[in-house]
Amino acid sequence: MQALPLALLAFVFYLAAASWQGLTLIRRVPPRDLLVRGFGTLAAALHLVVAGGLLALEGSMLPGLSTSAVLVTALAVVVLLGASLFKPVLNIAAVLFPFAGVVLLLGTELPTPTSANGMTPGIAFHAVSSALAFAVLAIASLQAILVGVQNKALKHHRIRGVVQALPPLTTMERVLFEMIWVGMALLTLAIASGFVFLDNMFAQHLVHKTVLSLLAWLVFAVLLLCHYRLGWRGMRAVRWTLGGYIALLLAYFGSKFVLEVLLAHS
């Protein structure tokens, strides 16, 4: 498979969609959600084709660092496009799409082949639920950043530019917590299936991933509980969301980086 030409074409589509959405945010052009979704869908389709090819080359659903990044960003784009049909989240495309395009190009040029692993349906379920949880919570973290920007702007009475184009803060926060709920459900499935289907979640090569994943789960669980019991919102919700996602980021990619880059070259 000639992955690079497909990746380049996907990058062009991502850039076109992100550019229009970015110009919409600063009120230079009128909103064209159908146009943004159209370019985004074309880019995502090509992205998934490339990701599938890389997975096939590695022969495993537990891929290496770069292929994992390509796959997760593709899923994040798909989740965002789907969610944008029901929720006002398309503004995230202005940041997510270019990032996904860059990750796709880098992942195409820097594959990390791994030896084929025995793949059972249970392990496949764990891998898919983990990737989906990471993708959904990635979008939640981007939404949290927008909520933080909007919150500070409103507090300092600087309602202009990007902030002026965003939905009301109450809507933004409601969407944020809906995303966290979905991400938490997927993360719970991922962790539970890991304990059921993997031999030893606390084995030396998995222990840091397991501990950090559990920490991320705990952070999001506390945030959701305190939001509904104590009314946590605003910047406190933003900080906890980003904190939980950083723990998940380290769990998902930090462990792969240590195993494939640091230990492999030590």
Query: In sequence order, what DSSP letters do the residues of 190-228 get, joined into one string?
Result: HHHHHHHHSS-TTSTTTHHHHHHHHHHHHHHHHHHHHHH
pLDDT single digits (tens) 106-136:
988 875 555 555 567 788 888 889 999 999 9
Instruction: Read off the amino acid at residue 16.
Output: A
Structure tokens at 147: 């909520």
* Helices 93-109, 3-25: inter-axial angle, 10-degree rounding: 160
Q: Among residues 100, 99, 69, 77, which one has the least CA distance to residue 257?
A: 69
pTM to 2 decimal places: 0.89
pLDDT single digits (tens) 25-84:
888 888 899 999 999 999 999 999 999 888 887 766 667 788 889 999 999 999 999 999
Q: Among residues 94, 156, 137, which one has the least CA distance to residue 224?
A: 137
